[in-house]
């Protein structure tokens, strides 16, 4: 595709802008993108994503940013810059700041995991894992103060737990 601005060079950048639900796409060459002030990131990794997400919401205070991991010496500020923790001890050192981040990303700070389908369907564990999933939705509904939805989810959880308990 040819650049939509200069109509000379091959377009290497697709710029999408959304304003008031109106989507505008522009295909540009590197030179025209630079002229328009569009900076291009050469590489993108999951650590870049985590570093960006960790900056959302409440900002940790200067004191929280300067807390250091006792093993590797990394600070939370370092984590925000690079998006990776230095070692396993960092999870404990930065727990206070990591929990809200994990909740935003995964919907929960607690890992539940999955069971193989064969086990779920034969042992009745599917009902339990479904109840665990509903508990997460219940917590989100409570956090968002959607109490009618929370009550509906609570009743559904009770029903599933009763069925799982009654199963031999």
Among residues 97, 17, 20, the alpha carbon closest in space to that of 58 is found at 97
pLDDT tens by residue, the chain, 168 residues: 899 999 999 988 887 777 777 888 888 888 888 887 776 555 455 555 555 555 544 555 556 667 889 999 998 888 888 878 889 899 889 888 888 877 776 667 676 666 555 444 444 455 457 778 888 889 888 888 889 999 999 998 888 878 777 765
Q: pTM score, two decimals? A: 0.37
């Amino acid at each position: 595709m040819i650049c939509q601005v200069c109509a000379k060079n091959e377009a290497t950048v697709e710029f999408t802008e959304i304003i008031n639900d109106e989507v505008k796409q522009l295909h540009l060459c590197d030179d025209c993108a630079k002229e328009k002030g569009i900076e291009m990131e050469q590489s993108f990794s999951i650590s870049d994503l985590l570093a960006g997400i960790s900056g959302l919401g409440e900002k940790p205070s200067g004191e929280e940013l300067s807390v250091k991991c006792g093993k590797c010496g990394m600070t939370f500020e370092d984590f925000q810059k690079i998006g990776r923790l230095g070692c396993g001890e960092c999870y404990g050192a930065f727990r206070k700041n990591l929990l809200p981040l994990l909740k935003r990303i995964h919907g929960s700070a607690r890992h539940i995991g999955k069971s193989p389908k064969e086990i779920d369907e034969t042992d009745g564990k599917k009902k339990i894992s479904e109840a665990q999933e509903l508990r997460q939705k219940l917590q989100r509904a409570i956090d968002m103060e959607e109490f009618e939805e929370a009550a509906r989810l609570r009743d559904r959880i009770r029903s599933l737990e009763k069925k799982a308990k009654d199963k031999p």
